[in-house]
Amino acid sequence: MMKQTMEQSKQLIDQLEETHVLSKEAFISLINSRTPELSDYLFEKSRRIRQEHYGNDVYLRGLIEFTNYCKNDCLYCGIRRSNKNASRYRLTKEQILSCCDEGYSLGFRTFVLQGGEDSHYSDEMLLDLIREIKTCYPDCALTLSIGERSYASYKAFYEAGADRYLLRHETADPVHYSKLHPPSLTLETRKKCLMDLKNIGYQVGSGFMVGSPGQTSAQLAEDLLFLHELQPQMVGIGPFIAHHDTPFALEESGTAELTLFLLGLIRLMLPTALLPATTALGTIDPLGREKGILAGANVVMPNLSPREVRDKYLLYDNKICTGDEAAECRQCIDGRISSIGYQVVVDRGDSKLGGKKNV
């Protein structure tokens, strides 16, 4: 494919801002022809659009990593079933509620229950937990991030009070999907789960890893087109980072630079999306989260898990916020966000687009 001139690339960015979508070929050529100058051009626009919808506000989500047991064996993930070196833990209902309690007093108004696919937590246990959290904190949003479950389970969780669901599609190319996952997991099932979640009424978050092994620009273009089709309220993207106890131990990590460029494109494509500056982005670059906000992101997800389990929920190597420095992620985040002229707000932080519950 011919390389675009800078002028042509800028025109494509203008077009994306106007029409909110581009052809696959146009996305590919934008990704391939990116330069620092083009990124700056993109980020000026993505920041302005973010500003129009969300001002200088940055929303907080308190991440509670409640189990690192997982029945799946994704090739990239440090808590995959085959990793015999992972030290496994599960939080009790009381431990989870005390995370919420601490989080609430720190100003968190969204709790994200995230974990591996762990059948120890039956639907009944989760329903009880969801009801309890929503009863104790009626002014808070509750997000689930617990992988693939049946339509009936998703519906029951929603009816018990869960508001949002995070389930990344990881890659929208079925062949690439099968290189990152065991045969038991398929892109088709993942997409069906996302459609189910949307139809039930959740505010849905999807997303993908940037720079995962074997990923091409054409696949990234497919990821963008899939997001355009799904129209999720939230999109989480972060660089792939190798974990030493996985089959991908020696694979190269993704870059902050490409992650930021894609964040900018996603902001133009989905102007009201909730876009986290992810922990993986902050891991690959010490200022990654700040740069993410400046590229159009508007959410940060500090860790609310109990200190003693934080260094066990390791999806990838060198994860930040797992040691002594994480004594108070909330303060750390506040400082980082205000240093770049934005402010963390005490708010549920719903999408301006809304799910059925919040329109």
Residues of the shown chain interacting with ligand 5AD in the complex, contacts defined by CB under 6 A: 76-77, 168, 170, 209, 238, 240-241, 243, 280, 315-316
If contact means CB under 5 to 8 A according to the sort of partner, which of ligand FES, ligand 5AD, none does residue 213 touch?
A: none
In three-state secondary structure terms, 122 is: coil
If contact means CB under 5 to 8 A according to the sort of partner, which of ligand 5AD, ligand FES, none does residue 256 touch?
A: none
Query: Least distance to ligand FES from the beta carbon of 279, Å?
Result: 8
If contact means CB under 5 to 8 A according to the sort of partner, which of ligand FES, ligand 5AD, none does residue 59 touch?
A: none
Lookup: tokens for 51: 């500003």
Considering the rule CB under 6 A, would residue 60 count as an interface residue with ligand FES? no
Query: Least distance to ligand FES from the beta carbon of 331, Å?
Result: 8
What distance in Å separates the CA atoms of residue 138 and residue 124, rounded to the nearest whole number? 20
Of 49 and 96, which CB lies nearer to ligand 5AD in the complex structure? Answer: 96
Which residue in 140, 67, 146 sits closest to 305, CA to CA?
Answer: 67
Lookup: tokens for 139: 């002014």
Q: From residue 295 to residue 334, what is the string marking binding to ligand FES with x (rule CB under 6 A)?
A: -------x------------------x---xx--x--xx-
Closest CB to ligand 5AD belongs to which residue?
316
Burial 215-240 (b: 16+ CB within 10 A, else e): bebebbbbbbbbbbebebbbbbbbbb
Which residue in 136, 70, 69 sits closest to 99, CA to CA?
Answer: 136
First-to-last alpha carbon distance for the chain, in angstroms, is 43
Query: Least distance to ligand FES from the beta carbon of 302, Å?
Result: 5
Of 170 and 222, which CB lies nearer to ligand 5AD in the complex structure? Answer: 170
Query: Least distance to ligand 5AD from the beta carbon of 207, Å?
Result: 7
Of 243 and 267, which CB lies nearer to ligand 5AD in the complex structure? Answer: 243
Measured over the CA atoms of residue 301, residue 306, residue 308 and residue 312, the dihedral's sign is: negative
Task: DSSP for 309-329, please give it.
Answer: GGGG--SSTT-SSSSGGGGGH
Of 293 and 329, which CB lies nearer to ligand FES in the complex structure? Answer: 329
Strands ordered across the beta sheet of 57-60: 299-300, 57-60, 343-344
Any idea what the Cα angle at residue 254 is, between residues 334 and 23, rounded to 5°?
A: 100
What distance in Å separates the CA atoms of residue 113 and residue 331, rounded to the nearest whole number? 21
Of 222 and 290, which CB lies nearer to ligand FES in the complex structure? Answer: 290
Of 271 and 302, which CB lies nearer to ligand FES in the complex structure? Answer: 302
Q: Site for ligand FES (CB under 6 A): how many residues?
A: 7
What distance in Å separates the CA atoms of residue 156 and residue 150, rounded to the nearest whole number? 10
If contact means CB under 5 to 8 A according to the sort of partner, which of ligand 5AD, ligand FES, none does residue 76 touch?
A: ligand 5AD
Binding to ligand FES (CB under 6 A) within 198-257 occurs at none
Of 218 and 326, which CB lies nearer to ligand FES in the complex structure? Answer: 326
Give residues with Cβ within 8 angstroms of 11, minimum separation 6: none
If contact means CB under 5 to 8 A according to the sort of partner, which of ligand 5AD, ligand FES, none does residue 241 touch?
A: ligand 5AD
Lookup: tokens for 97: 């509620």
If contact means CB under 5 to 8 A according to the sort of partner, which of ligand FES, ligand 5AD, none does residue 209 touch?
A: ligand 5AD
| Contacting positions for ligand FES (CB under 6 A) | 302, 321, 325-326, 329, 332-333
